[in-house]
Copies of this chain bind each other. A is one copy, B any other.
Amino acid sequence: MSKLKFKILKQRWNARVWEIELNWIKLTTPVFMPVGTKATIKGLFLDVLKNEKILGNLDPIKLILANTFHLYLRPGDELIKKAWWLHKFENWEDGLILTDSGGFQVFSLGLGKDENRDKWAHKVDIKLVEDGVHFRSPYDGSKHFFSPEKVVDIQCNLWSDIMMVLDVCSPWNSDKETLYSQMQQTHRWAKRAYDHFMKKYDKVKWVLFPIVQWWTDLEMRKESAEYLSQFATDGIAIWWVSVWESKEKVREVVEFTTPLLPNDKPRYLMWVGTPEDLLHAIEHWVDMFDCVLATRLGRHGVAFSGKWNINLNNAKFKEDFNPLDDTAEWLKNYSKSYIHHLLKEKEMLWWIILSLHNILYLHKILENWKRNFLED
């Protein structure tokens, strides 16, 4: 039985607007979820996402992400549980939290592809077994083990509203045989996670999403989508189409995959976060998105803006006293010249302003799309 309630506000062709309700919080989809990996969205008081003066006529943001792998290691899910769970710990008590499973972070320790890990991590190895995956902490080298069941338990300790199952993340250049066998293992893990969740946590109002992946291999996508749909009690995620792939390929995979998923459950497209990719995906049955791009671009001095992003490091903005976006009242207070100055001086307010702008930019794109869609 579905715990996540939904009401169809409008549905047409391959697009839809739903009102979903979970743990007494309602929001409308499609929705962009800002990323708060380590229990913070870099530099932002989370309540700014609900601040009417900042939002203007936009709805408040009610759903953000956090990362199971990072929070399990630091400060630890048991500690967060003692802090009355993640919502209270990070001051997000009247919002919803989605946690990813940590699968990508663990497997990327082995892949050597995670740009954010420290030097020690390059010596880390992982060991994949049927039961789960052994790994060492990139922080201190301590030994750890993730199983599908354990990752559900960790997410429950965090009090994640929407959890992800642990999946095997294969290197993109694996041979077909390896990919296929790891897909089958991922399916077995999804069943185990689901059984564990249903047995132990069926009574609580949390939900668990399986994840459909397997690169651009459409046969495997199909098999995986069909198999995993049985565990999509409340929703399902699509992953690994947005990394190292062309935009066209990503779109092809999205268009291929979404019709294979249960039509009456939300679909969450992971790691998609450019304005144009969002607009494409919502016309192809996608309801939820996350991406670090908004805050990461902000860190590098780049703002979403119309057709081309604006790089505020550029000297041409030195004396540009116009705001980045004159449709956002709060942003009118900060000229491009001022943000350029902050960047040059490494004054961290630049990052804060641009991260907030970029998050709200994606939020606004979806809000405006929804309003037009509903009125149309």
Contacts and interface: CB of A to CB of B under 8 A. Distances in A.
Interface of A: 38-40, 42-45, 47, 74-75, 79, 82-84, 89-91, 318-319, 321, 333-335, 337-338, 340-342, 344-345, 347-349, 351-352
Contact of A348 (B334, B340, B344, B348): B348
Contact of A352 (B39, B45, B91): B45
Contact of A43 (B91, B321, B335, B352): B352
Given A82-B321, A91-B338, 6 more contacts: A38-B341, A42-B347, A43-B349, A74-B345, A79-B318, A91-B334
A338 B89 contact: yes
A319 B78 CA distance: 10
Given A321-B83, A349-B40, A341 B91 contact: no
In the complex, which of the residues A90, A337, A341, A352 has the most CB atoms of chain B within 10 Å of its own CB atom?
A341
Q: Work out how many copies of this chain go into the complex.
A: 2
17 contacts: A39-B347, A40-B349, A43-B348, A43-B352, A44-B349, A74-B341, A74-B345, A75-B340, A82-B321, A83-B321, A83-B337, A83-B338, A89-B335, A89-B338, A91-B334, A91-B338, A348-B351
A348 B42 contact: yes
A349 B92 CA distance: 14
A347 B91 CA distance: 15
Contacts of A347: 38-40, 42
Nearest to A321: B83
A91 B331 CA distance: 10
A349 B75 contact: no
Contacts of A344: 74-75
B38 A90 contact: no
A208 B39 CA distance: 47
A44 B43 CA distance: 10
A93 to B, nearest CB: 8
